[in-house]
A and B are shown apart, each in its own frame.
Chain A
């Protein structure tokens, strides 16, 4: 047992192991408390359907949080890019390529603005992105005048609808497969690509990174831009699933997304994080609401238990970190 605890893998993956154990315990509780729900497939299908929408953003946001920065504007970026996607898809009578290109370009542009405000103007990211959070949501309201956009006529039963949200073998939603693929890809970039490497260095110590020849501003800007892109992607997935745009689209994503990143074990102080942890964080946060209701507790408990989960997870990580130093 001692050898196991002191092995290299365990030492370097403490966070990942802790979060996995928390998730297993949680699902055991679900399983024992509500076997009639959790021994059947539909609940898992529902999870696979709903988790990717905020999961994709959480994976991407892990890069920004590892930098020691935060982005609060992504819910509104989801809003404005979903609206753009819906309007253009309708206007072009279902031209996926134009709608996708423009919506994702707008997402990256929104990320670029965040990045420039933080690096070139020097506004702390928490403040800058509160500004852009309101800006993009405000623009959604002005353009949509408070009404929705239906894309059912131009999107339903198209090849792109199939590509984004159709169920594989009638069982596994396509968005979940995309989510897994993107998570694997981003994990690879995060750990083994020069960009991911630089993200860690900049988040660890900005001044040292600068002196080692890393272009700190560029790294931050790219991090915000990719988050803008993945926010637009999440928006497009939501559009295909719902076939409808509503002006508050995306605004519920803020807390679940950031909670998944922090529960996943990425340090608020920057320099250290894990994509795998965020993935497990998504499974935890994304399952809490249905899990709690299935256990027979009323929906009023959801926020309360969410609060317990987040607080205890970050407390455990803080203690693990302190032991290391």
Chain B
């Protein structure tokens, strides 16, 4: 399978502390949650505004638990590894594409995912029709071009998968704890104990005008 490229105008990600007990419940048995602190695991919320892809332009929100990367002698160390436990998108075509190609679990309705940058802040507002799903905000820091390697783990029935993902583009990252998060009761967030998820991110990342490159899907 050739490399799969998704061009984006905006990609923001924030890491929030969540109870390890929730993370373990979400993860399949072969994955362990990474802990930022004792009994504090990491919920990653990532939003994309894709401008060009095999599924056309669309917006996407990804809820993941951070897990240790799988080590490999012939590859670089991944910067982070994710287990996306629920993905929401703005189009049916993008859902079908990601389910078929990457086995990613999706919320099956179109979501309104608004990425609104202004004055060094990016506000992401996710709604399901009239129902709010979540709102989060990240802030900008010094930006520099990078090619970061990440890993994503997926399951489909008893099959386990991994894919290496490169994020290329200008990247800003910091831990100033100035962003925010509000989660609402919604099927997208039902696996989380909402009161126990931090209301501010301990890490904020922001990339613009770059490309997300998926390598070949591996069965593990």
Do A and B originate from a single complex? no
